[in-house]
Amino acid sequence: MLRPRIIASLLVQDNGLVKTTKFKDPRYLGDPMNAVRIFNEKEVDELAVFDISATINGKGPNFRLIEHMAE
């Protein structure tokens, strides 16, 4: 039997991991790299990273942070 795939989503705002309710009232959770390490240990299949500060400020995503996460 096939096991379900686990896809975690991370919301990043100003290089910090946040939790939101309908993308409002962000609450800082910590360093996104710690979350990546934890999800790697748990063998998550995929990580979806959403840079919500880029959308708010009309900028592109922080590719440097994403590259660092992928290492």
Q: Which residues of 2-28 are buried (b: 16+ CB within 10 A; e: fewer)?
A: eeeeeeeebbbbeeebbeeeeeeebee
- Whether residue 21 lies inside any domain: the answer is yes
Q: Which residue segment(s) compose the domain that 17 sits in?
A: 7-70
Contact 52, 28 (CB under 8 A): no
The reply to whether 56 falls in a domain is: yes
Query: Exposed, middle or buried: residue 46 (CB in 10 Å: 0-12, 13-18, 19+)?
Result: exposed
How many domains would you assign to the chain?
1
Asked, for residue 15, whether it belongs to a domain, the answer is yes
Q: Per the domain annotation, does 11 fall within a domain? A: yes
Q: Is residue 45 part of a domain?
A: yes
Q: pTM to 2 decimals?
A: 0.82
What integer pLDDT is reported at residue 58 of this predicted model?
Answer: 85
Domain assignment of residue 1, yes or no: no
Tens of pLDDT, residue by residue, the chain (71 residues): 888 999 999 999 988 999 999 888 999 999 999 999 999 999 999 999 999 888 778 888 888 988 888 88
